[in-house]
Structure 1
């Protein structure tokens, strides 16, 4: 057998490594969506299961229009009824003469119900339009649930077959799900916590997110400015791609393309799963990003320094409700005060605390409005200086990474960062050195003449 060249072997190893790591987030290495099925009772031809969707991602939420869960039945199962959710299609139920099932699809797709449905159609943690908070932001609302009655499925642990090919769709469709695995049965506590009951059978499905699968381009970009330099470093040109056929130059023009109520619920996207209607209607910019984050180094005190953070929405088709912003900077372990955002540290590597998650205050600025005069939120962050590391030189005061709603934003090149007035950027230093060198050489030539 002919051996592959060394460079070919290296390329294959690299490709394998990238394929495994494509969904790995170093700031949230254990973040995932876990779908848990608990069979809680048997029926004459199947079972009733409680399905729980847990978002264990530290700072990535499931925003509107919410989740869609799909799978393929292992046999000829049907869904007799559901509470707290519904299948998007009934499918072909023609073989049933009466008492038609809720869905006969071999590969059903299920969505959450909207708020306000009748009480008898609800269960705990349902009916929020598929919106699920990030676990680091609000653990209490980082879960969604529904109940399903399955027929033609078998009525014992040995005859029930686990569904296959699970899919979890959120906005962007960047999730990949592994196979369902039977695990030890869940133990439930009664409301008074005095009695334990156990599921008859439990299986889990783990889904992970990849920004590369969700979009070939970033969905946000970062710009910089500072009090010590008049230069404003903008987002890179076409930071989020320039393949959009058209963009909107004024709010008046946007009304031709977007209905008056632009939230995903008002657009009616929940019922049909029509995610194509969520295509952004962008304000015309050089960067063509739906969201821009601006970091301004604002003030310098003796023991503290202050930065201002502004998030601007350039998308006329989207309100970002429950948004999150994550910044990585070595001085974020010394945050003293955040003025108009809520804040939590994100500890990603052991005890290293250089990452912070910011999010809006409830009923104040937790909704980032669509593009226009109200399409921005801002706050200031006061940090205590660390005498051993603090400096304004070489762009140290600017963040290393920025994430918006869990997606990493396009950063400016390091050489473009605002520099101190008494120093020069690398290119200027090189030019100065060349000029000085030429002058010295000319002076020496004159001396030798």
Structure 2
């Protein structure tokens, strides 16, 4: 009996941990939903519209884009695709007449690049696999392609749902659930006068896990303020220095293999910032070794307002961040008065708690965060009205509780390192305090 209870406890813990990994408290309902709509039957299968909806508020899919994979339930083949293509054709030797587009039992499909011929396009396709976050660009948060499937069933009862869906790509950490039959999708004509309905519909839900996407954090946060000269840097090795072998450079500067010193000639060499298909990074050598650093500076204090400056710096020579997003959780974001040179949108993950907001760039101005170098940063300032009931500069209140960049949570400094007010006593170690007390006692006895 005790053994069975232990096994039950192990199962419960495993399920709880797996759910927690994929749960984002600032976007609790965010996911990517795949929808298959069978539009018509063919002599040996069907034609379906496959739609990918990104319902995440601030997490997008960046270049080089998504790769969608699955396993066929039977011996299906893909006769043709519009708006996408399979990465491999597979063994189609048994076909003597028309050759299918893909005969693999486990096909992998990718989006087409912009500018393909019109007859290969379909609505919401051909963006190079880039899918915007729903909270930033709802129109760009959809991707779609049309697929003609053969050697499949030709009725709702004989069609078998594909299995083992995967949503892959550099930096993508998605886990997809099983396909589930749902009520058929209803379509309206362009003039909204005629209604049609899919012959059969099933959906697949994919959730994101930062731990699956990257072994280490992908960004870090540093702090400073006008009332204290201390600058709190990103934690040392915040993004995994252990992955690199430390070496000694010229002038006694230590750095890691695979990174470039910011003042080196190599950093100015043409072609350094050439992207790699596998998404491999080429970072500027820093103590934190993070691709992205977010700096929050408490800048000014007015009678009724206070002002903070936000700067995002890119240390990756091989990555431009298009349509980047920055999410902050701070108790005074419910009183944002003005945001300069960034777009701002409040996020309400729990309805009535307004302490989270998303910052992103202005189109064609700073929505592109360039690779490491002189243009590899964006910055803005935010003005917030003081709340008499909660506002204070003490105890690190003026600094955010959490920061996310492009949907990944950044490594924060430890709370006891935040800049403190000048009129508050600096924090001494207990040993130092005891030593000081002992000295006072000795002086008192000698007096």
Report TM bin, short chain: over 0.9
Shift of 1:21: 1.2
- With over 3 angstroms needed to count, the CA separation of the structure-2 counterparts of 1:84 and 1:5, relative to structure 1, is closer
Question: Take 1:43 and 1:218, find their aligned partners in 2: how far apart are those partners?
Answer: 48
Partner in structure 2 of residue 385 of structure 1: 386
- Paired residues for 1:33-432 under 5 Å: 33-242=32-241, 243-244=243-244, 245-250=257-262, 252-254=265-267, 259=271, 262=274, 269=277, 276=278, 278-427=279-428, 430=430
Rounded Cα–Cα distance in structure 1 between residues aligned with 2:142 and 2:202: 17
**Contact persistence 1:62–1:171 (CA under 8 A):** no
TM-score by length of 2: 0.92
Task: Please give the alpha-carbon distance, in whole angstroms, between the structure 2 residues aligned to 1:246 and 1:261.
Answer: 13
Deviation at 1:431, TM superposition (A): 6.7
Instruction: Give the CA RMSD over aligned residues.
Output: 2.1
TM-score by length of 1: 0.92
Three-state SS of the structure 2 residue aligned to 1:426 is coil
Aligned-pair CA distance for 1:424: 2.4
Aligned with 1:299: secondary structure? Answer: strand
Q: 1:301 to 1:255 in 2, by over 3 A?
A: closer
Residue 249 of structure 2: aligned partner: none
Task: State the match for 1:438 in structure 2.
Answer: 438
Distance 1:124 1:112 in 2: 12
Native 8 Å contact 2:266 2:272 kept in 1: no
Distance across 1 between alignment mates of 2:82 and 2:148: 9
Q: Which string of whole-angstrom CA distances, capped at 9 and with x for unpartnered residues, describes residues 10-33 of structure 1?
A: 676544421221100011111000
Measured against aligned partners, the alpha-carbon deviations of 1:67-111 in whole angstroms (never above 9, x if no partner) come to 110000111111111111000011111111121111111100000
* Aligned CA distance change for structure 1 residues 225 and 69 (closer, same or farther; 3 Å): same
Give deviations 1:346-395, integer Å, cap 9, x for gaps: 11123101011000110000010000000000000000011111111111
Looking at structure 2, the residues matched to 416 and 210 of structure 1 have their Cα atoms a distance apart, in angstroms, of: 29
Instruction: Determine the structure 2 residue equivalent to 1:25.
Output: 24
Q: Deviation at 1:331?
A: 0.4
Partners in 2 of 1:79 and 1:14 — Cα distance?
Answer: 41
* In structure 2, distance between residues paired with 1:101 and 1:279: 34
Stretches of structure 1 that go unaligned for 5 or more consecutive residues are: 270-275
